[in-house]
Structure 1
C-alpha cells in the first residue's frame, strides 16, 4: 500500500494547502490511504463538521485529533456521525467518538487507524501504551488489518520514540504529531515499522508553530496575554510522511514530504 500521513493542519492557510494539493497527490502518487491530523484546523483550535467534510471531500480517508479535540464544542456531537474522525484512544470511558477505526482504503484494503495522546507535558489521560496494546492485540497486522497507522500526539520526543519501539513490527507506521516542527529521524525500525518523531504541520512556517508571531512573542517577553492566538495566514508548507508497505503491512520505504511554503521541498523519490 501507498500511505500518506499529513501533519497538523493549522488554520485557513493549512486547509487551503491541503485542499489544493491533496487531490493531485492522490492521482500523481497513486495513494491508497491518506490520514490527516485536523485538531488545529478551525482557527488553530479544534475542528468543525464543515472542515471535517472538506478534508474527506479532498481525499482524506481518516482525520485524527489530539489535545484540541473539543475546542470547537460541536465536535462533541458531530463526531458520533463522523465515522472517519478519530480522537485520542486513551480518553476516559464515556468520551464521545472513537479512538480507533477500521477504514476501507482506496484500493479496498483494511486499514486500522489509531490515535492516542502522550502524557509527558500533556493532559494526564489513561496509559496510551496499554490502550494501544489492546488495539494491536485485538487486530493483528496482516490478519485483522492490511495496514495499521498510529498517530501518537505528544510533546516529548522520548515518549514518541518509545511508542515507536513499542509498536515495532505490529504497526505499519507510527507518526508523532503535536509539536508542529518536522523532525529528521524518519526511518524504518528493526521490525519494519516506519517512524518519525514529529511529522510537522501543514501551515505557515513564518510563525510560532503556526500562530501569528506577535502574541506568542509578547507572552514570552512580558508574561502577559493581550489577545488570542491567531493562525498565521501566509503560504503553508504541507508536511507529511510517505510510506510504502508490503503484502504483510510492514514498511518497505519511507520518506518525508514537504511541499510549498517556506521549507525546503522534499518528495518521496520512490514514487513517480
Structure 2
C-alpha cells in the first residue's frame, strides 16, 4: 500500500472556456501529477452559472471523481434530479434541509478500494446568502466522515478571506486539505497548518483570464461604473487551469505536501 495519495483539485470551472481547458488538458495533468483522486468545482460550468448533467458526465469521463459546488449549485433546476440520485455531484452542506443533493460523501479510490476519500462541500456566510452556520456543519460532517476515513478534502466556498482562514484553523487536525473557492483568484498562501491540514485560501479559476473572474470584462466594468445591473457574458482568451495538488498520508490523513497549480501559466511580461 502506498504511503501517500495524490489529490488534484480543479478550481472553479467557468463556462465554455473552462470546459475547453478541462477537455483539452485535464487528462494529461492527471497523468503528470499521478493523481489518485480528482475533484473539480463545477458550479459555474454551464454558461458561467450552475451546471447540468451533461457537463457532470463529461467531467467524470475526463477522470474527475467528484464535482463540488457553491452558491450557484441551484441555478439550473434541471440538474436537481441528478443531484438527488448521485453522490459524485455535491453542493454546500449547510443549505437548509429539503434542498436537492448531498453536502458530503465518501469514495473508494478506483485504484485501491481499500483506501477511501471523504469530500465535504460547505459555503461561507460573510457577504453571501444567509444560510446555516458552516462551522458547526463542518464539525458534524467531519465527525461522520472520520467514521470511515481520515483522508478528507474540504471545498469551502466563501467570499471573505477571514472566514476561510478561520475555517482552516477550526478544522486543522480534523481534515486533510481545505481549498477555498468562489473568489476565482488563486492565493499565494498554500501551506500545512500545525495539525496537518493542507490549506489554501483560494484555488483559483479554470477559464478565461482575459476577463473579470471568467466573465466579459467590459460588462463588468460597466456594472461598476453605472451601478446598474448588466447581463454578464462569458469571456474568451488566455485560458488557464488553476487548482491545487495535495499529497496526504494514508495512515494519518495528514497533508504532507500542497502546491498551487496554474497551467499553462500566466505571463508577467508584455508580449511583443
Q: TM-score, normalised by structure 1?
A: 0.93
Match of 1:236 among 236, 239, 252: 239
Is 1:122 the counterpart of 2:125? The answer is no
Query: 1:200 Cα shift?
Result: 0.7
Measured against aligned partners, the alpha-carbon deviations of 1:28-76 in whole angstroms (never above 9, x if no partner) come to 2221111100000000000011001111110001000000011111122
Q: How many residues align?
A: 261
Query: 1:171 Cα shift?
Result: 0.7
Partner residue of 1:152?
156
- Aligned partners of 1:179, 1:159: CA distance in 2, in Å? 13
Does the 8 Å contact 2:210/2:236 carry over to 1? no
Q: 1:29 to 1:48 in 2, by over 3 A?
A: same
Q: 1:146 to 1:263 in 2, by over 3 A?
A: farther
Q: 1:28 to 1:262 in 2, by over 3 A?
A: closer
Measured against aligned partners, the alpha-carbon deviations of 1:81-117 in whole angstroms (never above 9, x if no partner) come to 2320000000111111100011122333211100000
Q: Which runs of 5+ in 2 are unaligned?
A: none
- Aligned partners of 2:122, 2:205: CA distance in 1, in Å? 18
Partner residue of 2:30?
26
Matched ranges for 1:63-82 at <5 A: 63-82=67-86
Does the 8 Å contact 2:211/2:236 carry over to 1? no
- RMSD over equivalenced CA pairs, Å: 1.3
More displaced 10-residue stretch of structure 1: 103-112 or 2-11:
103-112
Does the 8 Å contact 1:235/1:261 carry over to 2? no
More displaced 10-residue stretch of structure 1: 240-249 or 2-11:
240-249
- Aligned partners of 2:265, 2:137: CA distance in 1, in Å? 37
